[in-house]
């Protein structure tokens, strides 16, 4: 073996051993600092559309907010004796009804005190979730609210004709295909009743979570977004402030004098490697693979046709 090869191998070995030693020491110091006294605040970031599940594909991994992700993170925090409080930073325009309700229940039943830290937008389903926390902290310019339900059924006939796709419907049940075509007047009445029921569930749960009179929430449940300054006056937000304010609020709830903040951010290949531009790159690849028409069809089928706790304001 050449002398130069031996030298290089020795250097690599020394570096590897040093790295292992640093990691071991770091982990040891973290354990010593954290202890088990409940002085840690778990900071969990949630962003994107609320849905029952994520697309398991490589391109979509890590995007959106799901009950499973939130459940796993809350269980980790609640089972850790070092954690005394939890902050959920939410930036979302809402999403699926069932998923929003499930996550809201998880937040409301969390063992540790929970604080919502509002991002740029906490709308509709995202506010549904937030209303069940102990406190809501929002920046003055955060957009909050949009208490309401939206259902949109697109007429895809023109797009289907363009793609050369024809559907032949065979059904058992009078209204089985009601979301695949224009609704009849009778179906519009039925669908409005369905929307109203889900809307009333939203109002009831916000009133309970925020400890507001139902009539008050009903007045605010117009689907309107409010700047956080207004939302605070209306009782939809507790405290105005940023990151430090959210930490202080959680620390006070848990009676932590010197909090240690541990941040958890959802993994995602494109987001981790490229950051925000990764989303742009992902969509470019999907556009190249599917083409604009099929990509639009995919979007319409995924996002329309069922009631949503969602704000679609182009935000």
For 307, residues 6+ apart whose C-beta sits below 8 A from its C-beta are 97, 149, 150, 151, 194, 195, 198
Q: Annotated catalytic, 124?
A: yes
* Burial label, 58 (beta-carbon count in 10 A; 0-12, 13-18, 19+): exposed
Residue whose token pair is 């209204």: 175
- 8/276 Cα distance (integer angstroms): 39
| C-beta separation of 143 from 225 below 8 A | yes
Choosing from 68, 176, 213, 233, the catalytic residue is 176
Nearest to 145 by CA among 216, 243, 234: 234
- 40/49 Cα distance (integer angstroms): 28
Residue whose token pair is 């207004």: 230
Give the tokens for residue 18.
């040093």
Give the tokens for residue 48.
């994107």
- 309/127 Cα distance (integer angstroms): 9
Choosing from 110, 124, 131, 142, the catalytic residue is 124
CA angle 283/288/289 to nearest 5° reads 95
Q: Annotated catalytic, 255?
A: no
Residue positions annotated with a catalytic role: 124, 176
């Amino acid at each position: 073996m050449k002398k130069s090869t031996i030298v290089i191998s020795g250097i690599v070995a020394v570096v590897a051993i040093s790295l292992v030693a640093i990691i071991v020491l770091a982990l040891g110091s973290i354990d010593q600092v954290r202890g088990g006294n409940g002085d840690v605040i778990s900071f969990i970031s949630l962003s994107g559309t609320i849905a029952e599940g994520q697309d398991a594909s490589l391109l979509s991994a890590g995007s959106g907010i799901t009950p499973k992700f939130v459940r796993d993170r809350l269980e980790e925090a609640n089972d850790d004796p070092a954690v005394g409080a939890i902050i959920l930073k939410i930036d979302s325009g809402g999403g699926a009804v069932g998923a929003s309700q499930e996550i809201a229940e998880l937040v409301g039943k969390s063992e540790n005190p929970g604080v919502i830290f509002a991002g740029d937008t906490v709308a509709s389903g995202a506010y549904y979730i937030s209303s069940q926390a102990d406190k809501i902290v929002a920046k003055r310019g955060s957009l909050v609210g949009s208490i309401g339900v939206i259902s949109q059924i697109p007429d895809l006939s023109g797009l289907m004709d363009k793609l050369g796709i024809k559907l032949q419907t065979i059904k058992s049940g009078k209204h089985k295909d009601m979301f695949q075509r224009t609704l009849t007047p009778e179906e519009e009445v039925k669908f409005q009743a369905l929307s109203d029921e889900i809307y009333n569930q939203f109002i009831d749960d916000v009133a309970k979570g925020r400890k507001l009179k139902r009539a008050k929430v009903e007045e605010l449940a117009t689907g309107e977004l409010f700047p956080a300054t207004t939302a605070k006056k209306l009782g939809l937000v507790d405290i105005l402030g940023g990151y430090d304010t959210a930490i202080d609020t959680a620390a006070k709830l848990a009676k932590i004098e010197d909090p240690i903040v541990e941040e958890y951010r959802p993994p995602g290949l494109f987001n981790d490697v490229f950051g925000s531009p990764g989303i742009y790159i992902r969509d470019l690849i999907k556009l190249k693979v599917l083409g604009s028409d099929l990509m639009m069809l995919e979007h319409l089928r995924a996002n329309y046709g069922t009631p949503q706790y969602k704000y679609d304001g182009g935000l």
